[in-house]
Structures are given as C-alpha cells and as structure tokens.
Amino acid sequence: MNSNNISCLVVGDGIKGMQNQSIALARAIGLKPLLIEVKPFWLTRLFPTLLAGRFSIPLSNNDKNLFSCKSKILLTCGSRMAGISIGLKRYFDKKNINIFRIHIQNPKISSKNFDILVVPEHDNINGENIILSKGSLHQIKKENLIDFHKKIKSKTMKNLKKHIVILIGGNTKNQKVSQNSSILLSSEIKRIQDLFKCEIVICTSRRTPEFLLKDIKKAKIPKCTIVEPNNQNENLYPGIMFNSKFVLVTSDSINMISEAMGSGKPVFGFDLFKQRGRKLSFIKNLIAEGRFNYSKDIKNSDIKLLRIEAYENEADRIGKLIKMKLKKQK
C-alpha cells in the first residue's frame, strides 16, 4: 500500500452508514480519505481504554495495513471503533509520530481520549473538544442532487418529475416492524397516491422486512416503483430526490432522516414503531424548527410546505470548525 499521498485515514468496520459519515466529514475538511475496513478484536472493542494497543493485543484483523499508513489524521465513527483510534494513537506515540484523531458519535468513554469528538446534540454531551451535530453527517445537499441525478442509468427514473420519494428503513437492533405497522404504511402510501395522483418511488433498505414489501405490492398502488438496494443502485435515492415533490421517510433511522433533510425538499415521517430516546429527541427538535412533520398531516394535495430554505450541510459546517482547529495545530 502506497500511503505517501494519503491525507486522511478512515477506519471502519463495514457498516456503510458509519463509514459514509467519516468520508463525508473528511471531504468537508478538504482531505482525501483512504478507507480501511477492519474487524475490531473483541478485547479492543470491549475494553478500549484499558487494553487497546497494549500487552501485544491485536487491534483488528487488519493491523498490518493500519500500522503501515502514514496519514497524520485519523477518522473513526461509532463506539465499536473507539478502541481502534486509541490503539493507533498508542502505537504511533511509541514511534514519536503524532496523529490527530477525530471520532464521530458517542464513544461511551471520556472525550479526553480523542482530539475532536463530533457528537449528535440529542446525546446531551458537552466538553472542550466536543462539536455538536444536528443528526448524522452526509454528502447530500440541495445543490448537488443534480450530480447524483446524472449518475442514474435508468431513463425512466431519470425522467421523473414532481414525483414522491418514500424512503423505508425497517428493523433495528432493539425494535422490529410488526405486520400491523406494515399494513398501515401500505395504506398510508396508497392514501398519498390517491391525493396527488403522481408517480411514487419507494426506496427500501437492507433492514426492510420481506413481508413489508409484499404488503406494499398487495396494496396495488398505482404508478408505484420499488427500488431495492443492491451493489448497482444502493446510492440511487439521492438522485431520485432531485425533481421530487416531497420525501416521506420512516423514522427508524437518524441517518435516513438527515439525508432526506439534506435534499432541501419538504420531509414527512412515518413511525414503523414508537420512537424513543435519542431518535425521539432528534425528531422533536426538527418538528419544533418546522422542518419535519408526520405524513398524517398531509390532508390534501394543496400541501403546506415546511421550512425548506437552504440549511448548511452539517458535514460542511463541522468541517469548517475542524479546519480552524487543524490550522492551530500547525
């Protein structure tokens, strides 16, 4: 691996939502990200401050590539990756090499273990080196939707205008979609189509249960296309949001809601299950700002638009703050 030209090392464990946040922030800072995927060693993951980088305990299944990287800036995301960041710091300290470490999301350990910690504001964590974010970080902006749109290969999808985009998540670690919720969502989509009489594009995720897809198909919704994720079209939906009327997103994912908000389109939500904790706080804040509402509030086709003035992309905003901190380090 030739790492001489690497500007920023991004270490992830294969979870796309996490890795994409790191890549978005790296690019917002103006750095060239190099992604290395690893599987953290279980002791490093469970005891990051105590064992990571100590007692000859491996950090991951890919330590050779991690240790050979010459980047002076490291980006990680998610509590599972905290031990990797700490272990790499200890490894390079022994070689008198200073690396600047940025970690995204609550690591569930002291913020003092990192140079900069980027944490969602709904986590209620504060500190001198902590930057608060509104939701998750991503690369979707109103002004670059057209770039995503140009990458769409399907002529049918490319020519859509004034359509409705529906982003569907699904099961989470702690909550599962019920058959009843699946039927309610199918009915809601049909109700919306009856109101607007326009094309509807449904983008599902890898978390979407099969029975939910079957229920949507059983509802026989007119002018409805379902786009399922695979290697070819998993990043299709940002381009599909271009020229759309509005976006409806299930509320089970802060990432999906944040990306939908980045489109500059009116965004409405649907609960596949009752939200609580951090997700509920995040949604309540958006509603209070007038930037989000639930689909049940769509009463007729003369839709009252939400506040959709251009908000600065969170990755860009935080990137500017980190740039200033990096300049002070020089």
CATH of domain 142-297: 3.40.50.2000
The domain segmentation of the chain, as residue ranges, is 8-138+314-329, 142-297
For each of the chain's 330 residues, which pLDDT tens digit applies? 333 345 899 999 998 889 999 999 999 999 999 999 999 999 999 999 999 989 889 999 999 999 988 888 999 999 999 999 999 999 999 999 999 999 999 999 999 999 999 998 878 888 889 999 988 999 998 888 888 888 887 877 777 888 999 999 999 988 999 999 999 999 999 999 999 999 999 999 989 999 999 999 999 999 999 988 865 545 788 889 998 999 999 999 999 999 999 998 889 999 999 888 888 988 998 888 888 889 988 877 767 656 665 567 899 999 999 998 887 776
3-state secondary structure of 21: helix
The amino acid that residue 107 corresponds to is P
**Topology at the third CATH level for domain 8-138+314-329:** Rossmann fold (3.40.50)
| Sheet order of strands, 267-270 included | 224-227, 200-203, 164-167, 246-250, 267-270, 293-294
3-state secondary structure of 308: coil
3-state secondary structure of 280: helix
pTM (2 d.p.):
0.84
What is the rounded distance in angstroms from the CA atom of residue 131 to the CA atom of residue 110? Answer: 14
Q: How many CA atoms lie within 13 A of 286 on its CB side?
A: 26
What is the rounded distance in angstroms from the CA atom of residue 219 to the CA atom of residue 184? Answer: 11
